Amino acid sequence: MGKKPVKQTQKTNKLMREEDLVSSYHDMLLIRRFEERAGQLYGLGKIGGFCHLYSGQEAVVTGIAKAKLPEDQMITAYRDHGHILACGVDPYNVMAELLGRADGVSKGKGGSMHMFDVDKHFYGGHGIVGAQVPIGTGLAFANAYKEDKNPAVSITYFGDGASNQGQVYESFNMAALWKLPVLYIIENNQYAMGTSVERASAQTDLSQRGRSFGIEGRQVDGMDIEAVYAASLEALEHARSGKGPFILEMKTYRYSGHSMSDPAKYRKREEVKDMRQHHDPINMLKHRLIERKLMNEEEAKKIQDDVFDVIEQAANKALENVEPDSSALMTDIYVEENHAG
């Protein structure tokens, strides 16, 4: 971590700044449009394998991205396109990864589920449900090990499904025991693949899952970016100040199926439609911005058009990009460096 002349130690104002609100509209739209385009390219057979879309959940990563400090790390599971975009990675390289092309963030070797950008403090992109939770706790361990007065916080995301995994509780215990600077974000989108929270969890208030370890938790309206921002800011401050982990359960919703091959028989179409029409995080923010006169319809349209163009260009350029050279097949298995240091 390079030292900057003036290092931010913690953001404090719980209200989002006006320019952050307007840029959030752009950032959320960028994720939405990216996922729509990814869905189309999957349908065209251009994207292979598994593809888990983030549409509907954009306020969560975007609000947290506005509240975090640049060196705070993020790590998540396989529904990771929104997270890496929120870390500021070029949509071109993300789309190229989805397409399995040479310019992909992981050189085409990881695909949809395995996005990484260590320079931007994004640690992936993990395919085994719950496995990123001890790893994120380990990032926090490393932050604490450095004995910085204002350590970076590891923002560790997982879903309502992963919240039932054993290793999550092993991690909670160690994080609380050693007061590690970690913020656990449970993105509760109501369905673990096709199983609703009610059918899988004895205690459905997932924010209380850390209680027996003394970890404070709170439920947040994950469709409301301002609520996400305010709660994250407070939780980040808690974790950074040496008080140990914090849990935020973001109540959110995914519009798409679990993956592209989801027949979606476990929920009613009206439910999805109702969420899209009445609780959409992007539309809600747009109405607020217009109401508060921070943006007008014309400006909104301009942002929409810009985002559309950016994603079109990214997608078209990625489609032109070559597949990885065959010489890439057997590289990156080991670090070819003897006895560093």
Partner 1 sequence: MPVEVVMPALSPTMEQGKIASWTVKEGDKVEAGDVLAEIETDKALVELEAAADGEVGKLVIEAGTSDIPVNTPIAYLLRDGEALSDIETAPAPVPEKPETPFPAVSEQPPASSVVPQPATVTIAADPELPADAEMTEQSVREALRDAMAEEMRRDETVFVIGEEVAEYEGAYKVTQGLLDEFGAKRVIDTPIVEHGIAGLGVGAAFAGLRPVVEFMTFNFAMQAIDQIINSAAKTHYMSGGLVTCPIVFRGPNGAARRVAAQHSQDFSAWYAHIPGLKVVAPYTAADAKGLLKAAIRDPNPVLVLENELLYSVKADVPVSDDYILPIGRAKILRAGSDVTLVSHSRSLDACLEAAASLSAEGVDCEVIDLRSLRPLDTATVIASVQKTNRLVTVEEGWPVAGIGAEISAAVQSEAFDYLDAPITRVTGLDVPLPYADNLEKMALPSTDKVIQAINTVCYRQG
Q: Which of residues 20-79 bind partner 1 (CB under 8 A)?
A: 36, 39-40, 42-46, 48-50, 73, 75
Q: Cα 155 to chain center, whole Å?
A: 9
**Whose Cβ is closer to partner 1: residue 221's or residue 262's?**
262
Query: Contacts with partner 1: how many residues (CB under 8 A)?
Result: 80
User: According to CB under 8 A, which one of 22, 174, 186, 282 is a site residue for partner 1?
Assistant: 174
CB of 276 to partner 1, least distance (A): 6
Helix, strand or coil, per DSSP, at residue 224: coil
CB 101 within 8 A of CB 123: no
User: According to CB under 8 A, which one of 123, 157, 191, 253 is a site residue for partner 1?
Assistant: 123
- Residue 12 in contact with partner 1, rule: CB under 8 A: no
Question: 201: closest CA among 160, 173, 249?
Answer: 160
Q: Which stretch binds partner 1 (CB under 8 A): 195-203, 228-236, 285-293, 317-325?
A: 317-325
Q: What is the DSSP string of 245-277?
A: -EEEEEE---SS-SSTT----SS-HHHHHHHHH
**Whose Cβ is closer to partner 1: residue 154's or residue 188's?**
154
CB of 241 to partner 1, least distance (A): 19
Q: Which stretch binds partner 1 (CB under 8 A): 224-232, 242-250, 293-301, 329-337?
A: 329-337
CB 91 within 8 A of CB 311: yes
**Whose Cβ is closer to partner 1: residue 152's or residue 220's?**
152
Which 90-109 positions form the footprint of partner 1 (CB under 8 A)? 100, 104-109
Region class of 216: left (phi > 0), else alpha (psi between -120 and 50), else beta: beta
Distance CA 157, CA 33 (A): 22
CB of 293 to partner 1, least distance (A): 27
**Whose Cβ is closer to partner 1: residue 272's or residue 300's?**
272
CB 95 within 8 A of CB 315: yes
Using only C-alpha atoms, the chain has a radius of gyration, in whole angstroms, of: 20
Which 267-286 positions form the footprint of partner 1 (CB under 8 A)? 269, 272-273, 276
Which residue type does 118 have? Answer: V
Sheet holding 73-76, edge to edge: 122-125, 73-76, 154-159, 182-188, 246-251, 217-221
Cβ-based neighbours of 227, under 8 Å, separated by 6 or more:
63, 220, 221
Binding mask 124-163 for partner 1 (x = CB under 8 A): xxxxx--x-xxxxxxxxxxx-x--------x---------
**Whose Cβ is closer to partner 1: residue 127's or residue 227's?**
127
User: According to CB under 8 A, which one of 15, 177, 204, 271 is a site residue for partner 1?
Assistant: 177
**Whose Cβ is closer to partner 1: residue 136's or residue 217's?**
136
**Whose Cβ is closer to partner 1: residue 22's or residue 96's?**
96
**Whose Cβ is closer to partner 1: residue 11's or residue 109's?**
109
CB of 271 to partner 1, least distance (A): 12
| CA distances in angstroms from 158 to 44, 75, 184, 238, listed in the order given | 29, 9, 8, 20
- Residue 110 in contact with partner 1, rule: CB under 8 A: yes
Distance CA 154, CA 150 (A): 13
Distance CA 208, CA 23 (A): 32
Which 200-229 positions form the footprint of partner 1 (CB under 8 A)? none
- Residue 117 in contact with partner 1, rule: CB under 8 A: yes
